[in-house]
Amino acid sequence: MYNMQAVVRKSINNATMQFEKLGYVANNLANYNTAAYKTNRFEQILREDGYVDGAIRTNVLKGSIRVSKNPYDVAIDGEGYIPVVSEDGEVQYTRDGSFKRGVNGYLMTVDDWMVGDGIKIPANSYKFEIKPNGDVINYDNAGSLPEKIGTIPIVQFECPEALEQGHHNKMVYNDESGAPKIIKGLESVRQYATEVSNTNIYDELNDLMRLNTSMIASMNLMKVADDMYNKAINIRE
């Protein structure tokens, strides 16, 4: 009876892990068209006692760079993340450079988080340029001299795979990922461009089918165990 109970417990554990992984696969598929989205991997680990455990890892491979016509769009053609600040002062990190000119002219994310320490685009700006090193240069008119109005900072982490999902396509660091460090001397910022999601839709669909098969097998095993319990009870009676 103990062995049968162990089979049931392990089947429930397996089904729970598969269901949790299914949630991450579904989220990856849902964000296939989200700029700079990083795929989450749910890695299953078989413990010594036969039970399955899991760990979340972020796939940090760079997505393709897509050219746009929007001067506020920015892509990082390399490693790193852009720190952004909420209205409440919370700092998170993103590679989604679909920026805009927000409140009071500040460069902001689509959901109104301020980029870096605050980069204000003047209301009378003729045009502005974002250099490969992140410097933002403004021109008041066609013949004016360039004026630096700020820098888009790029930071890196010791273990970016361990970053946790934050608010709306942003990341939060932890002890495992390490604290952010400013990258100096970079030349990887691209204006008029955005990074696309690194989600491989074919891999995710393959995972989805395998998970479905595994969950069905776990449910069938539990049904067999349930039938055996019922037969054992009937024999006793």
Query: Whose CA is closest to 135, among 74, 55, 198?
Result: 74
Token pair recorded at residue 217: 């097998």
Q: Over 90: is that where the pLDDT of 76 sits?
A: yes
Q: Over 90: is that where the pLDDT of 90 sits?
A: yes
- From CA 115, how far away is CA 123, in angstroms rounded? 18
Predicted local distance difference test score (pLDDT) of residue 206: 86
By percentage, how much of the chain surpasses pLDDT 90? 54
pLDDT per position as a tens digit, 26-73: 888 889 999 999 998 877 666 666 566 667 788 899 999 999 999 999
For residues 193-216, average pLDDT: 84
What is the sign of the dihedral through the CA atoms of 203, 167, 191 and 72? positive
The CB density around residue 40, as the number of other CB atoms within 10 Å, is 19
Query: Whose CA is closest to 169, among 149, 209, 197?
Result: 197
- Greater model confidence, 3 or 70: 70
Mean pLDDT in the chain?
86
Predicted local distance difference test score (pLDDT) of residue 54: 65
pLDDT per position as a tens digit, 118-144: 999 998 899 999 999 999 999 999 888
- From CA 6, how far away is CA 51, in angstroms rounded? 10
Predicted local distance difference test score (pLDDT) of residue 186: 87
Q: 2-30 and 201-236 are packed helices; what angle lies between their axes, rounded to 10 degrees? A: 160
In three-state secondary structure terms, 66 is strand
- Greater model confidence, 2 or 92: 92
Query: Which residues of 17-167 form beta strands (DSSP E)?
Result: 40-46, 52-58, 65-67, 74-76, 82-85, 91-94, 100-101, 107-108, 114-115, 127-130, 135-139, 147-151, 155-156, 164-165
What is the sign of the dihedral through the CA atoms of 112, 114, 118 and 122? negative
Predicted local distance difference test score (pLDDT) of residue 57: 80
Predicted local distance difference test score (pLDDT) of residue 1: 44
Place of tokens 């998170």: 92
Predicted local distance difference test score (pLDDT) of residue 221: 63
pTM over 0.75? The answer is: yes
Predicted local distance difference test score (pLDDT) of residue 140: 92
For residues 133-159, average pLDDT: 95
Q: Over 70: is that where the pLDDT of 222 sits?
A: no
Predicted local distance difference test score (pLDDT) of residue 46: 62
Predicted local distance difference test score (pLDDT) of residue 25: 87
Query: Whose CA is closest to 58, among 158, 160, 157?
Result: 160
Least confident of 1-10, 64-73, 103-112, 147-156: 1-10
- From CA 175, how far away is CA 148, in angstroms rounded? 35
For residues 147-169, average pLDDT: 94
For residues 101-117, average pLDDT: 94
Residue ranges of alpha helices (H) inside the chain are 2-30, 201-236
- Greater model confidence, 147 or 6: 147
Q: Over 60: is that where the pLDDT of 237 sits?
A: no
Amino acid at 121: I
